Structure 1
Amino acid sequence: MSGDAIHGRGPLPRWRAWLESARPASRRQAAAGRAWAAWQAFARQPAALAGLAIVAALLGVALLAPWIAPYSPIDGDLGTTRLLPPSAAHWLGTDDQGRDILSRLLHGSRITLQVVLLVALLAAPIGLLVGTVAGWAGGWVDTLLMRVTDLFLAFPRLVLALAFVAALGPGITNAVLAIAITSWPPYARIARAETLTLRGADFLAAVRLAGASPARLVLRHVMPLCLPSVIVRVTLDMAGIILTAAGLGFLGLGAQPPMPEWGAMVANGRQYVLDQWWVAAAPGAAICLVSLGFNLLGDGLRDALDPKQAGPGGGR
């Protein structure tokens, strides 16, 4: 008898009973049940839902920016709209070039989202592969890969990213490459730790006895099991990626003018921060809000995907 029936709420809907079945009939049903349990644990956290809403709003704004921005993010009017305070015509005011700050923020969200996604797609697979290979192979391979990882971890991310951008040259593409190169070591550490706990598992021994090659073991069996922990760490690192990208833009090494990158907008407004505070305050608040959203989302995913971190009632 189900819990709903015991409490007098009647039988579960067919789709929910299928998801919450204690004896799944197929691999697809088992995977869907695990995803449903994770979503239930995630949805019980108001802060995590707030983070999801912020990230979803960022995604929506980035997709719809050309249609919802009231003005051009590039063109301005130095004669009549320069450094105007927030008003009904310009909700967040204008900058020193007469450009609408709200429009630039909306279009700048596309650059921020682009940087975050590209860095995640570049850095996470590298770290996952390095960590799983090091943990599974052991010996000199593990020592070599982990010493390279330690070498990258020995330097602060922003300092190392500055060095790579200085070598590659300023620009958004080079900034993405520099941030990705400096972001993979923590993922490698996490993947290696997860792999070391799995090396002696009976099911992996059975797969090995069945004739699976080491490459197949790592790619098909070990890496998928390490993926949830890496996804959580990537989500938590999104805030750091955004701040690093904004720092490079602030220093003039990221997106170049007239692109509406948030860090460059803060740098442009620092000379007016005492009198025309809105020029720097608006992009600074956007960076803070989006970073907070990714942190809240990452905390929620950690509690939902890691049963050791989940609170009471976090599992099924």
Structure 2
Amino acid sequence: MSAGSPSRASGWRAWLLTDTPASRRQAALGLAYRRWRRFAGNPLSLFGLAILLLLVAFAAFGPLVAPHDPLRQVLSDRLLPPGSASHWLGTDQLGRDILSRLIYGARITLSIAMLVVIVVVPLGLAIGTVAGFFGGWVDIVLMRITDVALAFPKIVLALAFAAALGPGVINAVVAISITAWPAYARLARAETLRLVEADFIHVARLQGASRMRIVLRYIVPLCASSVIVRATLDMAGVILTVAGLGFLGLGAQPPSPEWGYMVASGRNVLLNAWWVATIPGCAILAVSLAFNLLGDGLRDVFDPRHGD
């Protein structure tokens, strides 16, 4: 059995890496395997992926792994330093366990970031591909709207919309989404202009494919990889914007354990109890760095200049 396992593994590897796949399924699996090998060859990208998987695990299983209730106040345990048996990362001004609040806060941070991506990626992809494919007055109108949106600093515009809409998680998602979609529209338009003159697009036209079918069947899937890589790289900025809104009281509201709010609540005791603000700040730094590392790895994987 042990002698056959390496042979079986090499057989699967040869089947995946063959230059003459016998089916679409084999070709798709082979492409995915090649991309995974390229991604796994970058230790920093794997490190970023590991951090994000840990974040997802905390978000999914927070109630099972958190040692305490994140909202429970024990005033007799207020401002305990890290390292105690019952509070590994210490407590805040109200005696709440910081580790438990970090674990539950991962759910809020990940939810906001995912909601932003769900909104801005399809919106930017739709606007960019339509503008690039149809051209003419459609392109002019959509890109001028995009230029106007890009003219404002994203963080300032997000703060303005968040202040106008009022505090809350949903309003924070809307405010960030309004400021984030133009970059994806620009990228999708550039990719569409590159693809629209390709030979296979001309062949599809000659075969009678409608404009909408060409856009949905060919243009959008080929633009999606670049947009997804951009979204992964932008997630660090989204996390920082979410934390900034929370720090200013425009994001998730207390007593919710949002990381930006945790930093804000600890700034008044920073000199006496550094861990209250520093530990959630380090969590924000780690997650932002993880998204950047993952985005760099995905960019290398989907870079068309690299062969598969």
1:154 aligns with 2:151: yes
Equivalent residue in structure 2 for 1:303, among 273, 283, 300: 300
1:251 match: 248
1:264 aligns with 2:253: no
**Structure 2 Cα separation of the partners of residues 32 and 234 of structure 1:** 24
2:92 match: 95
Identity %: 62
Structure 2 gaps of 5+ residues are 1-5
1:3 match: none
1:121 aligns with 2:118: yes
| Matched position secondary structure for 2:22 | coil
**Structure 1 Cα separation of the partners of residues 49 and 108 of structure 2:** 19
Return the offset for 1:11: 8.9
| Matched position secondary structure for 1:97 | coil
**Structure 2 Cα separation of the partners of residues 38 and 161 of structure 1:** 36
1:220 match: 217
**Structure 2 Cα separation of the partners of residues 24 and 221 of structure 1:** 22
1:83 aligns with 2:82: no
Equivalent residue in structure 2 for 1:181, among 159, 178, 182: 178
**Structure 1 Cα separation of the partners of residues 11 and 187 of structure 2:** 39
- String of CA shifts for 1:179-219, please: whole Å, max 9, x gaps: 11211111111111111111111111111111111111111
Q: TM-score under structure 1 normalisation?
A: 0.93
Equivalent residue in structure 2 for 1:63, among 48, 60, 63: 60
Q: Which amino acid aligns with 2:121?
A: A
Name the stretch that deviates more: 29-38 or 282-291. 29-38
| Structure with the higher helix share, 1 or 2 | 2
| Matched position secondary structure for 2:107 | helix
How many residues are matched?
Answer: 302
Structure 1 gaps of 5+ residues are 1-8
Name the stretch that deviates more: 272-281 or 175-184. 175-184
Q: TM-score under structure 2 normalisation?
A: 0.95
**Structure 1 Cα separation of the partners of residues 9 and 67 of structure 2:** 48
**Structure 2 Cα separation of the partners of residues 85 and 46 of structure 1:** 34
1:207 aligns with 2:201: no
| Matched position secondary structure for 2:26 | helix
What is the aligned-residue RMSD (CA, Å)? 1.4
Equivalent residue in structure 1 for 2:136, among 115, 132, 139: 139
**Structure 2 Cα separation of the partners of residues 173 and 216 of structure 1:** 34
1:54 aligns with 2:51: yes
| Matched position secondary structure for 1:13 | helix
- List structure 1 runs of 4+ shifted beyond 3 angstroms: 9-12
